[in-house]
Chains A and B, each alone.
Chain A
């Protein structure tokens, strides 16, 4: 079963534990500046929204890469940057419609979410369940359940 990161912004408090977990997993340091997931604080509405790569099936970044440095991890479905192949041309950062693949000055390569090989540190660190790692085919299950509850699980009016 393939799993995906699933984000529910309503549960996000803006604590950035996900960003720290991401940088710690990949760089061994707590540095939100190096995180591949970012939490956006829309101050005037009070909404906090975590955002990262959704692992497109037909990934723009993968197709744009001139040296085929981005490949598919067959086990997880993640599009993974192979650092030894990447030449830092940044074409993928232009191709990606979502901005979720970015250049890293310190390494001269690009980075993006690779689902931590199938055990994403961000989801593990999230204290509120705003970020979960669930069955790719059933990301709607929770919402469906809420509506099912509304439709059929309330005391009958009669």
Chain B
């Protein structure tokens, strides 16, 4: 049935590890990964729990397609109540770790309580035990992976861990696997750190061998791979340029938030674009981009592998950063670059490496730096307070503040709290470009109306990956809609949100949806799981997941008032580009969205809606 049928429950307080059968009724209703892990979390914790307390739980979950030959079938999700937002946190990662856990014979791992001292979980097929992590505490993600592989004498071990920022309670700390793949957003790494849990090291030799109809599955997987290969975005654009293919595109339509959303176009966009990454540098004649890389099972291969310029000020005399490593994706390049007005591509890559090495989210970090730089330019924050001059465009400030945040020293501690808390502390809460405390990603919510609504209503705070309407509004997938128009966007946002929840729950990457619809996922799931899946059925499950997450947030204390955007997006019009003069029409779209969702005027799913969705 493609589920392993077993989960691990780890009580960190008691130090126990137990095996439980997977709740198959839930598996059928919520598929796996995001949906199924969220169902377990929501069933087991009080929505009002303090995210960093022992009463919160944190779950690593795979989907039924994880660890199979379905393209991109290597994904896993980390689910918990998030410390950055107080909402449900649900962060998805690629790399090889998720497949390894599944091949060890486990669908998910649930952690509860808090360990008295640092520990890591070691899993080798049926063996799962907590081990002392004193020697790993204080180490980076990169050191942790290296030390665990050496101490176990097993180079094939896969590791999901936190760096110093997760230990130090950076509220947007990430969980990182395979050196530079991350469950990046909402601070899932801080929850891991709060439990004194350093890492999960996995070796799986059993494999995924219970696919229901292997012949039909192989045929469906092969057909779906062909769809990806034949598509211009997944077959050519992403492997060649990575997600960075978007930098110039989004800048041209005037949707590239710049200098903490003061502007919507960045004069330095071309210097931090995919094209710039592939252009030989003047200093050493080499391009920053070395090659592309796939995650487990992925036939797209959008990942970037880059090498820094050894003469750049950030890495002079630091040879540990001279080798090839994870390169800039679009969101990171935007957050570390345009959001701060920094156009030094090498500085961006340095900050990106630090985010990977010590495990924190470059989007929230970069966007918080944008707020710091605006406060600095306003004279609210001074050089003495920050420890360095920090005007917009300062590559030096970006690199130093990345170091300080990673190590939790000086002003880095405040940056680690995110822009909402930082701007509030200094009397300018309106300058936090966030929703529910989580910072915006790389698309302007004024000029691209649908994504603004998607941010405002995202269940994990501002996020592009809960409903990527950019596909429609900018790229014309599956149909083109006008970015500045608000008409029809509530329906579009709902459709994207529901479909995304289904993709995420299957165990495949959301980037497949540039080419696939749920009609391409359904036959793969059906052959793998044995249950009957149709496109409509999957969309229905996606809607169920969305409403379940929403109910959790409502019970946690969120209201309609939290489905909003910063004042800047609602009142300050875009200054340049095709969307010049436009503000977000959220006040018009939101009631319509609630209506389309079957929610009451306060944003609560009605009894009828819940009944229809089996909640």
Q: Is A28 an interface residue (CB 8 A)?
A: yes
Residues of B within 8 A of A29 (CB): 206-209
Q: Mark A22-55, 1 if CB is under 8 A from B, else 0.
A: 0110011111111000000001111110000000
Q: Is B566 an interface residue (CB 8 A)?
A: no
Q: Which of A13-21, A84-92, A150-158 contacts B (4 or more CB under 8 A)?
A: A13-21
CB < 8 Å: which of B207, B214, B297 contacts A34? B207
Nearest chain B CB to A42 CB, angstrom units: 8
Residues of B within 8 A of A14 (CB): 293-294, 301
Residue ID in chain A nearest B235 by CB atoms: A127
- Say whether chain B's binding surface is mostly helix, strand, loop, or mixed: loop
For the complex, give the distance between the alpha carbons of A54 and B207 in Å.
Answer: 26
Q: Which of A27, A30, A45, A48 has the most CB of B within 10 A?
A: A30
Residues of B within 8 A of A128 (CB): 301
For the complex, give the distance between the alpha carbons of A31 and B69 in Å.
Answer: 10
Is B325 in contact with A30, judged by CB distance below 8 angstroms?
Answer: no
Q: Mark B249-274, 1 if CB is under 8 A from A, else 0.
A: 00000000000000000000000000
Q: Which of B156, B295, B297 has the most CB of A within 10 A?
A: B297
Is B296 in contact with A16, judged by CB distance below 8 angstroms?
Answer: yes
Residues of B within 8 A of A21 (CB): 69
Is A33 in contact with B205, judged by CB distance below 8 angstroms?
Answer: yes
For the complex, give the distance between the alpha carbons of A15 and B509 in Å.
Answer: 13
Nearest chain A CB to B143 CB, angstrom units: 14
For the complex, give the distance between the alpha carbons of A48 and B206 in Å.
Answer: 24
Q: Which of B291-329 contact A (CB under 8 A)?
A: 291-299, 301, 305, 307, 323-325
Residue ID in chain A nearest B299 by CB atoms: A127
Q: Is A95 an interface residue (CB 8 A)?
A: no
Is A46 in contact with B229, judged by CB distance below 8 angstroms?
Answer: no
In the complex, which range does the number of interface residues on chain B fall in? 35 or more
Is A127 in contact with B225, judged by CB distance below 8 angstroms?
Answer: yes
Residues of B within 8 A of A34 (CB): 205, 207
Residues of A within 8 A of B69 (CB): 17, 20-21, 24, 30, 125
Is B209 in contact with A15, judged by CB distance below 8 angstroms?
Answer: no
Q: Which of B71, B239, B299, B325 has the most CB of A within 10 A?
A: B299
Q: Which of B180-207 contact A (CB under 8 A)?
A: 203-207
For the complex, give the distance between the alpha carbons of A137 and B208 in Å.
Answer: 38
Q: Is B459 an interface residue (CB 8 A)?
A: no
CB < 8 Å: which of B156, B218, B291 contacts A33? B156
- Known: A14-B294, A28-B214; 18 extra A-B contacts, CB below 8 A, are A13-B292, A13-B301, A15-B294, A15-B296, A16-B296, A20-B68, A20-B69, A30-B67, A30-B211, A31-B103, A32-B103, A33-B207, A44-B325, A46-B293, A46-B305, A47-B291, A127-B71, A127-B229
User: Interface of B with A (CB < 8 Å)?
Assistant: 67-69, 71, 96, 99, 103, 156, 179, 203-209, 211, 214, 218, 225, 229, 239, 290-299, 301, 305, 307, 323-325
User: Interface of A with B (CB < 8 Å)?
Assistant: 13-17, 20-21, 23-24, 27-34, 43-48, 125, 127-128
26 CB < 8 A contacts A-B: A13-B239, A13-B298, A13-B301, A15-B294, A15-B301, A16-B96, A16-B296, A27-B209, A29-B206, A30-B68, A30-B207, A30-B211, A31-B204, A31-B206, A31-B208, A32-B103, A33-B205, A33-B206, A34-B207, A43-B323, A44-B325, A45-B323, A46-B291, A46-B293, A48-B293, A128-B301
